Structure 1
Amino acid sequence: MTTRPPTPSRRALLRAMAALPASAVLLGGLPELTGTAAAAAPASGSATRYTIVPFLNSNDGTVNVYQSDDATDFRLVQASAYTPPSNRIRDASVFKHTNGYYYITYTTHTWQDVSTTIGFARSADRVNWTFLYDYTVPITNLSRAWAPEWYVDSDGSVNVIVSCSTTDDEWIFTPYLLKATNSGLTSWSSPVALSGIGSNHIDTFIVKVGSTYHAFTKNETTKYIEYATASNLTGPYTISRTGDWAGWGSYREGPALVQLDNGGWRIFFDGYGDGNYYYSDSYDTFATWSAPQALAGISGTARHFTVIKETVSGGVSLSKNVSRSLQSVNYTTRYWQEQSSLLNLPVVTSSSTTAEKQASAFTVVAGLADANGCSFRDSSGNYLRHYAFRGRFDANDGTAAFAKDATFIARTGTTSGSVRFESYNYPGYYLRHYNYQLRVEPTSATDLFRQDSSFVPVTAWA
């Protein structure tokens, strides 16, 4: 079978004269996450759903739909979910409108071609998409209109931020804002350049926190993602972070942000220089960021996407203030058990001693750091927490750090009635068994990891 070569980056021409950077070096160890996060875990019976609609490294003529409950482990919902009737589909941005429909806007041509339009499509279910129209961006002498990004302002107005270049220099991009002038998103205001960001910036993504607009944008000269702020959507923006200010490295593009269930912010970006797709988290309003991690499962497959977050029904319903034993999904004779203050997974049967049965029963209580999460208390009143990523039981010392270490967000497991427990302060890290020990480890987005991290709450052994 002939293997199709990867679709070249739209920046290939721009970087052709420069040597490719070395592969990104991931900084050792995930730092303890700081800052006060708002309680945002899904309530009992509800679930968080993150959706992305990326084009593929191997094909820029179609997009897949993936979803995740933790913004880390994305699973395929539909391959080739939308193929436009003509041209290409790159850099798709997705959002859900107040009319209940999902919309994507996208780049309509590959990087080599003149591209004066951006495309629009609509879906009622995120899976089945209908082409709406291609919109010619009304800029004189327009050469390329790339990477349109939805932005819904706090006043409810719907906007698209698009990177545009003109024929006098087709590789120098400036971010422009288009504002929808009707609810059907078929009529747009005249383009307005975002003041202060300036030319030679592309892939501008904006979020608003309080009264401040925060813009993340790629500098096409340095190949770094920069950071700017403004008090108005159209600016003037002040770029205050340049170079490798966040430790993400160079040759990064397509930044997109979403707020996590623990209140932190996650940025995703395309590491086109080394072929990976990365994420990084911030808990201090974008001042500092965790070391970038390759996105498990789809890194190297998915390209340039944005993320929408929703709360949907059908999540885990885990009763609180009830004693439970936790049974492994893939080793059904094994259960959580406290042994010398550590959490292990031995075999427990009706023939086990009373002490063993008592050590395999835990009270599920409201999360110490987030009441919508959960914590586990043993018979002596100690709480399960992660310490050096090992599951262990300690007395609550009353600190915020302990509360976060001892809080888990319940996610749907691999079998009916099973639950996965995600670390509250290390998103994407789950309690899983390895060598029959319980540890908090980052998801590998594999079926084996999902099974190793799935447990069934059952009637307590004691």
Structure 2
Amino acid sequence: MTPHPHPHPARRAVLRTLAALPASALLLSEAPGLLGAAHAAAPPSGSATRYTIVPFPNSNDGTVNVYQSDDATDFRLLRSSAYTPPAGRIRDASVIRHTDGYYYVTYTTRTWQDTSTTIGFARSADRLNWTFLYDHPVPIARLSRAWAPEFFVDTDGSVNVVVSCSTTDNEWIFTPYLLRATNSALTAWTSPVALSGIGANHIDTFLVRIGPTYHAFTKNETTKYIEYGTATSLTGPYTLTRTGNWAGWGSYREGPALIQLDNGAWRIFFDGYGDGTYYYSDSRDTFATWSAPAALPAISGTARHFTVVKETVAGGPAVPRDVTRSLGSVNYPTRYWQQQSALLNLPVVSASSTTAEKQAATFTVTAGLADATACSFRDASGNYLRHYDFRARFDANNGTTTFARDATFIARAGTATGSLRFESYNYPGHYLRHYGYQLRVERADGTDLFRQDSSFTPVTAWA
């Protein structure tokens, strides 16, 4: 029996063990299973997932850009220089959407060389137009630097900020402190409380809560590795159980931020400032293993230190269900999906094609085998489209979890009106894409060509 060569070569190289954790500001009950929290799902038909980041550019820490993505991989610029504070700088921006409907950002107000004793706040109704609110003086005796404030929303709805602070005793030794908002307008905060157990010389601490447990990802400024620990109380004591290169992410990494993807997997983003690359890495098995870090396409080398807001919004693609359709290429409009010897290819199909050729280019769109809000494709013989060694092919459903996930795709908006892109359910950021008129599942590279090659329009079935 031929083994299932499932892991992508890049992921095959380094799937690392160990427990880590989940998402920015999203608080989820613990759920066992390979892909994480059970209630994570693809957006329903007519809705879309939207990820927003607000990083400062590598070339200018006086402003931030706004980027948007529907898959947490392919981020595209929404507005450059969207917010410039009236004074000071804006670094390490952390963003949430608050219960009042506004987006709030908190940030470091000075460049790294300067004394920095405040953290800044601004808000926006639309993510594009931002209004400065105020600079908040962090009340710590002999404070030298207050850096990298990170929002954390607890299960009781309280809004907190974790800020890395150093004192004049040693301006380069940072300790994480917690401030809690005392009003819904986020204009008043408690006195800072040190997170116990993490200890001095840690910066960029990012918190997530799962069930009763608080999880912390924090950069060790001595070793330059992102470390991991847990606690049963928000302020600790935390126990750092994973240190050094425990996840295979390498050193000179900072600014960790996590989010849960539509398939329940978790993604960590971090700034590889040592090599000028921005990375992401996924955990697909309840944080037992992490994929090899990959450069974030298009914005790696440009964006610096961000967190992520994930939302489900209206206006996403409407995906037909339990109907037969043919799927035409957006950039090769005479070519259509067609099964050829169990493989999915992209030949020319026309009115003069044979009945057999038209039938081979006709598929039934069904609810996703692994997620009913996603989709699967069945041919006339009852076999399902799935990826195998990243080649698109049709096989009989063997009833396994692996097959169900291989045969499930999350529909994203395509490049042309009415067109769709199909993201692999179990390989986030990978899409059905034609290359040499063959259909494969490949990682998005952030180019317009890739988006066009992976866009297909459902049309009236040929047969």
Relative to the length of structure 2, the TM-score reads: 0.93
Residue type of the alignment partner of 2:132: F
CA distance in 1: counterparts of 2:285 and 2:369, whole angstroms: 21
**1:276-312 deviation per Cα after TM superposition (whole angstroms, max 9, x unaligned):** 0000011233332000000000000000000000000
1:286 maps to 287
1:136 maps to 137
**1:372-399 deviation per Cα after TM superposition (whole angstroms, max 9, x unaligned):** 0000000000000000000000000000
Q: Structure 1 residue 208: deviation in Å?
A: 1.0
Q: Structure 1 residue 29: deviation in Å?
A: 5.0
Evaluate the alpha carbon distance shift between residue 26 and residue 331 of structure 1 in structure 2; reply closer, same or farther with a 3 A threshold.
Answer: closer
Q: Structure 1 residue 26: deviation in Å?
A: 6.3
Q: Structure 1 residue 253: deviation in Å?
A: 0.2
CA distance in 2: counterparts of 1:285 and 1:54, whole angstroms: 28
1:152 maps to 153
Evaluate the alpha carbon distance shift between residue 372 and residue 26 of structure 1 in structure 2; reply closer, same or farther with a 3 A threshold.
Answer: closer
Evaluate the alpha carbon distance shift between residue 68 and residue 176 of structure 1 in structure 2; reply closer, same or farther with a 3 A threshold.
Answer: same
Residues 322-337 of structure 1 aligned to structure 2 (within 5 Å): 322-337=323-338
State the identity as a percent.
78
Residue type of the alignment partner of 2:123: R
2:120 maps to 119
Residue type of the alignment partner of 1:386: H
**1:139-158 deviation per Cα after TM superposition (whole angstroms, max 9, x unaligned):** 00000000000000000000
1:194 aligns with 2:213: no
Q: Structure 1 residue 211: deviation in Å?
A: 1.5
Q: Structure 1 residue 107: deviation in Å?
A: 0.3
1:35 aligns with 2:29: no
CA distance in 1: counterparts of 2:131 and 2:312, whole angstroms: 24
Residue type of the alignment partner of 2:216: A
**1:197-226 deviation per Cα after TM superposition (whole angstroms, max 9, x unaligned):** 111000000111121111100000000000
CA distance in 2: counterparts of 1:30 and 1:222, whole angstroms: 21
CA distance in 1: counterparts of 2:347 and 2:13, whole angstroms: 29
CA distance in 2: counterparts of 1:456 and 1:316, whole angstroms: 11
Between 133-142 and 275-284, the greater mean CA deviation after superposition: 275-284
Evaluate the alpha carbon distance shift between residue 30 and residue 329 of structure 1 in structure 2; reply closer, same or farther with a 3 A threshold.
Answer: farther
CA distance in 2: counterparts of 1:93 and 1:412, whole angstroms: 27
Residue type of the alignment partner of 1:147: A
Contact map agreement 2:150 2:161 (CA 8 A) in 1: yes
1:184 maps to 185
Q: Structure 1 residue 32: deviation in Å?
A: 12
1:307 maps to 308
CA distance in 2: counterparts of 1:192 and 1:300, whole angstroms: 34
CA distance in 2: counterparts of 1:26 and 1:449, whole angstroms: 19
Q: How much is the aligned-residue C-alpha RMSD, in angstroms?
A: 1.4
Between 139-148 and 205-214, the greater mean CA deviation after superposition: 205-214
Q: Secondary structure at the match of 2:287?
A: coil
Q: Secondary structure at the match of 2:135?
A: strand
CA distance in 2: counterparts of 1:378 and 1:103, whole angstroms: 48
Relative to the length of structure 1, the TM-score reads: 0.93
Evaluate the alpha carbon distance shift between residue 350 and residue 27 of structure 1 in structure 2; reply closer, same or farther with a 3 A threshold.
Answer: closer
- Larger relative CO (CA 8 A, sep 6+): 1 or 2? 2
CA distance in 2: counterparts of 1:106 and 1:118, whole angstroms: 6
Residue type of the alignment partner of 1:454: S
Contact map agreement 2:59 2:302 (CA 8 A) in 1: yes
1:260 maps to 261
Q: Structure 1 residue 31: deviation in Å?
A: 5.8
CA distance in 1: counterparts of 2:14 and 2:361, whole angstroms: 30
CA distance in 1: counterparts of 2:75 and 2:147, whole angstroms: 25
Residue type of the alignment partner of 1:144: R
Q: Secondary structure at the match of 1:59?
A: coil
Q: Where do 5+ consecutive residues of structure 2 fail to align?
A: 1-8, 18-32
Residues 426-445 of structure 1 aligned to structure 2 (within 5 Å): 426-445=427-446
1:377 maps to 378
Q: Where do 5+ consecutive residues of structure 1 fail to align?
A: 1-24
Moved over 6 A (4+): none
1:270 aligns with 2:253: no
1:22 maps to none
CA distance in 2: counterparts of 1:41 and 1:170, whole angstroms: 46
CA distance in 2: counterparts of 1:191 and 1:284, whole angstroms: 36
Q: Structure 1 residue 232: deviation in Å?
A: 1.1
CA distance in 1: counterparts of 2:378 and 2:437, whole angstroms: 20
Evaluate the alpha carbon distance shift between residue 31 and residue 327 of structure 1 in structure 2; reply closer, same or farther with a 3 A threshold.
Answer: farther
CA distance in 2: counterparts of 1:142 and 1:26, whole angstroms: 44
